[in-house]
């Protein structure tokens, strides 16, 4: 399910961003271009973090920003931004991988999150994704990690 939602054309690399807000905007751009989300969904993600703190940093080096389906989601989708230098969601939360989640309801995205957990459960796998120098390499690693788990 993860590789159906997080398509290769929604994976981006960047060296550096000025702020976590900029990171979220950049990470979400492919979903806006594909009309999967509206611009207001990006602002809702940012506002949610500003109000509730860096709860989207789900494991060291990884954030999964999201907002409510009613905040402008047209289709279930994900995008990924890999940063060369971390952006800080708070002083103790350096993040290299920003994975935007756009869910259309409270349940349809859950299998993709389970698959994503398989990718992110191992810090070596996270570091391996961060080390990738091309979008295709990230895509191949995600496919490899999710396939490996499902065949064991």
Which residues have a catalytic role annotated?
A: 66
Pair 75, 58: CB distance under 8 Å: no
- Residue 4's contacts (CB-CB under 8 Å, 6 or more residues apart) are 112
């Amino acid at each position: 399910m993860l590789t159906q939602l997080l398509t290769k054309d929604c994976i981006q690399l960047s060296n550096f961003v000025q702020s976590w807000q900029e990171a979220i905007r950049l990470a979400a751009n492919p979903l806006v271009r594909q009309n999967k989300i509206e611009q207001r969904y990006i602002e809702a993600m940012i506002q949610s973090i500003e109000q509730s703190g860096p709860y989207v940093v789900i494991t060291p080096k990884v954030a999964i920003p999201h907002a409510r389906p009613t905040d402008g989601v047209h289709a279930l989708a994900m995008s990924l931004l890999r940063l060369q230098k971390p952006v800080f969601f708070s002083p103790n939360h350096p993040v290299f991988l920003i994975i935007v989640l756009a869910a259309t309801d409270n349940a349809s995205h859950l299998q993709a999150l389970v698959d994503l957990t398989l990718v992110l459960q191992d810090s070596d796998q996270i570091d391996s994704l961060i080390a990738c120098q091309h979008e295709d390499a990230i895509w191949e690693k995600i496919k490899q990690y999710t396939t490996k788990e499902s065949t064991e």
